[in-house]
């Protein structure tokens, strides 16, 4: 089941409108990373999405919100240049159905209304998607962005597709990345390149979408390599 993650939303009404959009597309897992409390305006704007607000999950960090998800997909209305592009490098929202195919619990992350997602939050995500808009006014209202993204999933039929493989959780995914990076840190690899290498590694592993059996095999391989170096 797809999880919608709102990072530090500022306006209860926007959260309510997001819940209303979610119920339109049969999605009911809403998570907030800090952010505003839901008031009467939020409930009023949620309409039939009120149960989603009543059962939403709250987390202190984005990492905690993604712990039981198997892929993290960020959204961004900004087209970055230079080195910043490395962390965003957005794909079109039309590619989203392929990005979540056979995933058991993808997370779609939406940032703050006034700023979006910080660089360190984007680094926790394997993919960034963007919605084509007027370049003079690229930033969409929060609930509008959620609605468009969910429409792309719904129209492709991914909400009905049976899952054929049990993919690893985000926690297991991070454990695998950490094991590989720990090996790399023990080499003469330049320290200044470690952060970028971690991002590259996370994206490569995510594209492969390893299942639980493949995960255990990879963990065993890198454990053997580490022990063989002693």
Answer yes or no: is pLDDT of 167 > 90: no
Report the chain's mean pLDDT, rounded to a whole number. Answer: 88
Instruction: Name the CATH superfamily, with its identifier, for domain 3-156.
Output: SPOUT methyltransferase, trefoil knot domain (3.40.1280.10)
In angstroms, the Cα distances linking 162 to 54, 131, 178, 216 are 28, 27, 31, 23
Range 190-195 contact pairs with CB under 8 angstroms and sequence separation of 24 or more = 195/123
Domains of the chain by residue range: 3-156, 170-228
Q: Are 197 and 184 in contact (CB under 8 A)?
A: yes
CB 124 within 8 A of CB 62: yes
Structure confidence by residue, pLDDT tens digits, 63-109: 999 999 999 999 987 655 544 444 456 788 999 998 898 898 999 99
Q: How many other CB atoms are found less than 10 A from the CB of residue 34?
A: 13
- Separation in Å, CA 217 to CA 43, 110, 177, 204, 221: 47, 33, 14, 17, 6
Classified as helix, coil or strand, 65 is helix
Residue 4 in 3-state DSSP?
strand
pLDDT digits (tens, 9 = 90+) for 211-223: 888 888 989 998 8
């Amino acid at each position: 089941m797809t999880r919608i993650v709102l990072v530090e939303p500022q306006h209860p009404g926007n959260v309510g409108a997001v819940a209303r959009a979610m119920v339109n597309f049969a999605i009911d897992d809403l998570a907030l990373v800090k952010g505003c409390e839901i008031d009467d305006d939020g409930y009023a704007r949620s309409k039939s999405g009120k149960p989603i607000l009543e059962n939403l999950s709250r987390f202190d960090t984005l990492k905690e919100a993604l712990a039981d998800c198997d892929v993290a997909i960020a959204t961004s209305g900004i087209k970055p240049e230079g080195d910043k592009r490395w962390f965003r490098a957005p794909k079109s929202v039309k590619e989203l159905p392929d990005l979540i195919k056979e995933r058991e619990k993808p997370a779609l992350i939406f940032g703050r209304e006034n700023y979006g997602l910080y660089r360190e939050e984007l680094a926790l995500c394997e993919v960034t998607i963007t919605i084509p808009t007027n370049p003079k006014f690229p930033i969409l209202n929060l609930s509008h962005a959620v609605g468009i993204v969910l429409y792309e999933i719904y129209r492709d039929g991914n909400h009905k597709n049976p899952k054929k493989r049990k993919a690893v959780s985000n926690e297991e995914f991070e454990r695998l990345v950490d094991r590989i990076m720990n090996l790399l840190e023990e080499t003469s690899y330049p320290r200044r390149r470690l952060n970028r290498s971690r991002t590259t590694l996370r994206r490569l592993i995510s594209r492969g979408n390893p299942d639980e059996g493949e995960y255990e095999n990879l963990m065993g391989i890198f454990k053997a390599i580490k022990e063989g170096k002693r």
